[in-house]
Structure 1
Amino acid sequence: MRTKYRLALPAAALLSACAQLPPGDNAELTRQVTETEKAFAATMARRDFAAFQTFLAEEAIFDGGREPLRGKAAVAAAWKRYFEGGQAPFSWEPDRVVVLASGTLAQSGGPVRDPQGKLTARFNSIWRQEAPGQWRIVFDKGEPVCDCK
């Protein structure tokens, strides 16, 4: 019984250490997330649904409809229709990216535009670094813009 616990503690410590990625230079991490967000948006412009899916974390939640879409499969199934046809129904780009000092999570946000370039919404996304330099989206929420003048 004691041997079992002696082996479990070092194994738990090793797993804990592996789960925490070392923090990097925040400017570099911000650049990585910005470029990842731009590449994610480019999948829509290129009409590349397969590439779009590679940016989704397995447990991604997209919240913008009646009910949140939970999981990569549900998000992909719901978004597949946006990739049909020759022209993208909307586009987005980050105008703000912030990264935790730990380098594990980041938030991106920016405008969403219709095919004519009219601002229709803003997106907010949370990205998780799953391996060094590899970011996957875990939360996404779009909000319509308000003409509150």
Structure 2
Amino acid sequence: MSLAATLMLAAAALSGVELDVLREQVRGAECAFARSMAERNLAAFGRFVAEDTVFFAPGMRRGRAEVLAGWARWFEGPQAPFSWAPQQVELLADGSLAYSTGLVRLPDGKAVSRFSSVWRRNAQGRWQVVFDHGGPLDEAERAKAAEPDARPCTAP
């Protein structure tokens, strides 16, 4: 690799401190995203969904409008049918994309699945979901799922 290419890569990578700040931004965005479900606010939920998003469940949904149409049923009624909180958030070295994952829980606290989301910072600096997927817990996760999340989302 040439010296110029090496310097460009080094300049593109953020410091650990900057990545920690961005990681907390994404964690906060994920918690606010989850809070929109708890507060039964589909419009707020939609602000965290990128226009060109892809959600893999239920069924393949492409684009914000399709995702909101598919998720609207879960915003009906006074109580959210499930909740979630990030357990892990990771970023690319340049801070352009982030990954979050955690447990999805029923109202009684029972963990039923794991979500995984890829976040992208938009031109206004807001983090939005570009890919979202949920899946069943593996055997080890089911055994650990009775434990509370180490860092649950809290109200602002």
With structure 1 as the length reference, what TM-score do the two structures score?
0.80
8 Å Cα contact 1:32/1:133 also seen in 2: no
Task: Give the count of matched residue pairs.
Answer: 128
Q: AA paired with 1:77?
A: A
Q: Hey, what does 2:96 align to over in structure 1?
A: 104
Q: Hey, what does 1:88 align to over in structure 2?
A: 80
- 1:128 lines up with 2:115 in the alignment: no
CA distance in 2, matches of 1:99, 1:134: 15
With structure 2 as the length reference, what TM-score do the two structures score?
0.77
Aligned positions of 1:1-149 closer than 5 A: 23=14, 25-65=18-58, 67-131=59-123, 133-147=125-139
Structure 1's consecutive aligned runs of 4 or more residues displaced over 6 angstroms after TM superposition are none
8 Å Cα contact 1:23/1:104 also seen in 2: no
**What residue ranges of structure 2 are gaps of 5+ in the alignment?**
1-11, 144-156
Q: For the pair shown, which has the larger CA radius of gyration, 1 or 2?
A: 1
Coordinate RMSD, CA, aligned: 1.9
Tell me which protein shows more strand as a share of its residues: 1
Q: AA paired with 1:71?
A: G
DSSP 3-state at the match of 1:97: strand
8 Å Cα contact 1:44/1:88 also seen in 2: yes
